Each structure stands twice: as C-alpha cells, then as structure tokens.
Structure 1
Amino acid sequence: MRTAAIDLGTNTFHLIIAEKENDEVKIIYKTNAPVRLGEGRLNDNLIIDAAFKRGVDQLKAYSETLKEYGVTKFKTTGTSAIRSASNGKDFVDAVKSETGIDIEIISGDEEAGLIYQGVKLSGAIEDLSLIMDIGGGSVEFILCDSNTLIWKKSYDIGAARLMQQFFKSDPISDEDRNSILVHIQNQLEDLFEVCEKYQPKFLIGSAGAFETFAELIIKKNNQHTDIKAAKTYKFDFDEYIAIAIKLINATHAERAIMPGMIPLRVDMIVVSALITNYVLGRLKINNLTLSTYDLKMGVLASLMN
C-alpha cells in the first residue's frame, strides 16, 4: 500500500510518497515547491491573493501525482501560515473544492510531536538532544533522547516572519541583527530554562535551513555527499560557524551565487543562521547534526503505524 504525506509549510509545500517494506519505510517519490504561502503579509496573518492561488495550483498538481502513483492513503498538514491566517479556512475550503484534498491544520504542539517522530526515524538522536526545526512561520524545539520526548514547544519566530519584521538592510545591519536577537531572547526564555535543567549537548537541525548549511559546506569542500539521499549529516562545528558568519556578513547578491544555495533561502538563511548561532552559544552546544527526516516523515510514520 502506498502512503503519502503533504506538508504545507509557510515557504515550501512538500510531497513524499512511500510504502512499507520489511518494516522499513521505502521512499518511492518526493518533491517540493517554493510556494511562499507566507509571502508579504505573514505578520498581518493574511495569505495574499497571489500566494493563495499558487498554493491551490500546487495542490492540484500534487493531487494528480497521488493518482499517478496509486496512493491509497495520505494526509495533508497545514502549519504556521495557514493556522495563523485570518483567511486560512478560506484556503482550506478552496483546496477541498478544487482538488478534493482535505487539509488538517495542526497546532504548533502537534507539529513539534510529528517532527520528533520524523527525526527519530532518521537515527540522528543518539543521546540527550535538542531538535530545532526552523520553518518560515514558526520554529519548533524538542528536548528528547531516542526513547523519550521530554519537552516540546513551537514559537512564532520563523525565518520568513522575522525577515519581514526586522530584515531591512543589505547586508544585514547591526541594528537589524540586534533587533532579531533581542526578539529571539525574549521569546525563548522558557526554552533556556528547561535546557538549563537538562543540559543537552547535541543540537539536531531538522531539514530546511540545515540542509542548505550542509549543501554550502559540501560544495565548498568539493565533497561528494548527496544530502537528498542521506538521512543524517554530522557537521564539523568550526566549518558550520565559518559558513554561518559568512552568510550573515554577505550581501544578497553574494549569497545568491554561493554554490549550494537555493533561491528561496537567499535571505531567510541569514535569519536561520542568527537563530541557530544564538541557541548554540546560549546553550554552549558544539555538536550539530542534520536530520533530513522531519515533519513529513513523522506524518508518514503515523499513517503507516
């Protein structure tokens, strides 16, 4: 039986199709599209007309792909951009009317739980760890080990949300940078309290921006690792810090031509690097791993079980 997960992120819509083979999840097909549902007025809690249309059109295409691959069971999850938008229900209704796809709008808490399940499948969790998933609208943190989810929370500090609110300069100015960091600090007080108690020594970055960090390092070092085929990637910490600082200090044009950069993340990667660096520094963590498995793999696992 073929099963699929459709993840409607604030920036990117993902489709992944899989089947179970000897208790292993075998991926048959996966794709994504930079729909940018949160374009323009994310902080006004509104999906603008152009983004609304792009979203519906993309789901029409995904609907055809599901038929083509003979998918019998699937789940479509809507996250930060849809759950916070005043016209989010209108989007859900339009998608149902035009494609037949039912969107389940999940809470930030549910999103964090599914991210944990996806990351767990990758094998990235080896010890007490903090998982971090940087989306466009929200960022999820999960404190866990390979057996237990200890604590989780979703925060409305996603890369697109902070970029629209604070990132007004090129390259980013000290003023804009400090505004972002003060905002992060104020939002994440309870995260730092729980981490002070448990002292995680590993940060696991869930897909998204962390895949771009990895691609930039791989291309820079002329390595042959295929991130698209890998479940995990262990960063050399010094190499990560070097690339993060380079991204933060670069102009838009300089970032755009970096080998391994994708157009969608040229600007948002700066915000992602600032958030990641702040969390690493505040928690004194110097072990960083990428899990390419994230929410959509968690959704697949829940469907298959």
Structure 2
Amino acid sequence: MRVAVIDLGTNTFHLLISETAGNELKILYKTNVPVKLGEGRINDNIIIPAAFERGINCLKDFSQTITKYKADKVRATATSAVRSAENGNDFVHAVKEQAGITIETISGDEEAALIYEGVKLSGAITDLSLIMDIGGGSVEFILCDAEKLIWKKSYNIGAARLMQQFFKSDPISDEDKNAILFHVQNQLTDLFEICEKYQPKVLIGSAGAFETFTELISRKNNLKTDINSIKTFEFNFDDYIEIAGKLLNSTHRERSEMPGIIPLRVDMIVIAALITNYVMGRAKINRLTLSTYDLKMGVLASLI
C-alpha cells in the first residue's frame, strides 16, 4: 500500500510518500517547500494573498506528484496558521477546488498527539522526556516515557508569531529578548508546574530547528551527520550551549552565511534557541536529543 502524507505547517509544507509491505516501511519520496503561509500577518489571524497563492500552487504540485506515485491513501493536515486564520476555511476550500486535496485542520491537542506518535517511532524516547516541537505558529510540548504519553499541550508561541511581534533588532537586543521571554513565561506556567511534578530528564527536539542545531554542531565538530538518513542525534550539552550563544549574538547576515542554516530559518533559529534555552533552564534539563521524526511520521503511523 502506498500512502501520501501532507503536513501544512506555518512555514513549510511537507510531502511524504511511502510504501508499506507487512511491517516494512519504505520512503519513496520526500520534499518540503518554504511556503511561509504565516508571513506578514499571522498575529492578525490572516493568510495574506501572496501566501495564500503560494500555498495553492505548492499543493497543486504535490497533487501531481501524488498522482504520479499512485498513492492509495492521502492525508493532509493543517496546523496553527490555517486553524487560527479567519480565512483558513477559504484556503481549505480553494485547495479542494484547485488541487483536489482534502485538508483536515487539526487542533493543537491532536497535533501534539501525532508528534508524540512520530517521535516514538524514531526510538528517541528512552527515559522520562519532554518533547518540544517548535513550529511557526505554535509550539507543542509532550511529557512522556517510552510506554505512554503523560501530558500534552499546544501553545500559540510559534517562531513566526514571536518574530513578527517582538524581533525588531539586529543582532537581537536584550530588550527584544526580554520581551519574548516575558511573553513565553506568561504562556508556559502550567508546563513548568507539570515539569516540577514529573522532572523529565531529557528534552527531545522534534525536527525543524533542532535539525539546524544538529547541522551546525556536526559541521563544527567535523561529523558526517546526514540529517536525511538519521532518526535521532544526541547533543553534547556544551556544544549546544555554544552554538545557541553564537546564534543569539550574531547578525542576520552572519547567520545567513553559516553553512547548515536554510534561508527560511536564518531569523527563526534565534527565537528557537532563545525558547529552548529558557525551557531547559526552567525545567532543569541538561540532556538534549533530536528526533528527525515528527508530525509527518505520526500521521503516517495513523494511516498504516
């Protein structure tokens, strides 16, 4: 059986086509496109016309690829940018009409549950862990162990939202950093209460920004890490702290010249480093692991 999974993220649209035979899973095709659906006015809950059009065009291309691969099942999920936009339903209808793809707009709770299923498939969960998925529109946290999901929640503090609201300086100023952290602190009160109670030992970063951290550390240490073929990566904590500090003190131009940072993430990686540092500090966690499996793999698991 061939299945196609489309993940409509706030920054990036992903397409994953795989084939299953018994318990074997083979990835046939994988791509992502920096659509930037949340560009410009995500905090006003609007998909701007240019982003709307980019999204439609991307999904028309995805539709052709799915037809070419003769997928038996297709599941397309939309997250924060679509679910919070006043014209989100208009986008869903336009996609159905023009690209022939039915989009399911999932809640933050459903998103967190699917992220957990994806990360679990990677084998990254070996201890009491806090999974963190930094999206453009929202950030999901999942407290879990290898057997079960204990607690989950989605917060509207995604990197695109925070960047549009607070990131006005280059390099980021202490004033902007403090404004972001004050906002995040007010949002995450219940997260730290649950962390205080359970005391997770590891922070598992789900794909995205954590893949960029991995790329930067691998290049610094001359490691031959192929993000496209690994499932997990365990960070040396000091390496992570050093890279995060470098990102927080760098200018836009300096980051854009760093090998390992894709253009879409040149500024958002600063927000990601800031939030990750804050969460690890508040939750007293000093072990960090990457899972390259995320929501997409969770959706794939649900189909097979």
TM range (shorter): over 0.9
Structure 2 counterpart of 1:169? 169
Q: Is 1:273 the equivalent of 2:268? A: no
Q: For residues 78 and 259 of structure 1, what CA distance do their matches in structure 2 show?
A: 30
How far apart are 1:21 and its partner, in Å? 3.4
How far apart are 1:272 and its partner, in Å? 0.4
Structure 1 counterpart of 2:252? 252
Structure 2 counterpart of 1:52? 52
Secondary structure of the residue aligned to 1:284 is coil
Structure 1 counterpart of 2:227? 227
Letter in 1 for 2:13: F
Letter in 1 for 2:123: G
How far apart are 1:223 and its partner, in Å? 1.3
Secondary structure of the residue aligned to 2:229 is coil
How far apart are 1:121 and its partner, in Å? 0.2
Equivalent runs, 1:288-303 vs 2, <5 Å:
288-303=288-303
Q: Is the deviation greater in 41-50 or in 14-23? A: 14-23
How far apart are 1:125 and its partner, in Å? 0.2
Counting aligned pairs with the same residue, the percent is 73
- TM-score, normalisation: structure 1: 0.99
Equivalent runs, 1:83-162 vs 2, <5 Å:
83-162=83-162
Q: For residues 21 and 224 of structure 1, what CA distance do their matches in structure 2 show?
A: 31
Q: Is 1:12 the equivalent of 2:12? A: yes
Q: Is the deviation greater in 12-21 or in 2-11? A: 12-21
Structure 2 counterpart of 1:196? 196
Secondary structure of the residue aligned to 1:147 is coil
CA RMSD after TM alignment: 0.6
What 5-or-longer segments of structure 1 have no aligned partner? none
Q: Is the deviation greater in 132-141 or in 24-33? A: 24-33
How far apart are 1:218 and its partner, in Å? 1.0
Secondary structure of the residue aligned to 2:5 is strand
How far apart are 1:98 and its partner, in Å? 0.2
How far apart are 1:225 and its partner, in Å? 1.2
Secondary structure of the residue aligned to 2:10 is coil
How far apart are 1:90 and its partner, in Å? 0.4
Q: For residues 194 and 122 of structure 2, what CA distance do their matches in structure 1 show?
A: 25
* Residues paired across the two proteins, number: 304
Secondary structure of the residue aligned to 1:29 is strand
How far apart are 1:22 and its partner, in Å? 3.9
Q: Deviations over 1:85-144 (max 9, x none)?
A: 000000000000001100000000000000000000000000110000000000000000
Structure 2 counterpart of 1:205? 205
Q: Is the 8 A contact 1:220 1:259 kept in 2?
A: no
What 5-or-longer segments of structure 2 have no aligned partner? none
How far apart are 1:217 and its partner, in Å? 0.9
Q: Is 1:25 the equivalent of 2:25? A: yes
Structure 2 counterpart of 1:80? 80
Q: Deviations over 1:147-195 (max 9, x none)?
A: 1000000000000000000000000011000000111111000000011
How far apart are 1:39 and its partner, in Å? 0.1
Structure 1 counterpart of 2:3? 3
Letter in 2 for 1:203: L
Structure 2 counterpart of 1:284? 284
Q: For residues 79 and 35 of structure 2, what CA distance do their matches in structure 1 show?
A: 14
How far apart are 1:295 and its partner, in Å? 0.2
Q: For residues 28 and 231 of structure 2, what CA distance do their matches in structure 1 show?
A: 15
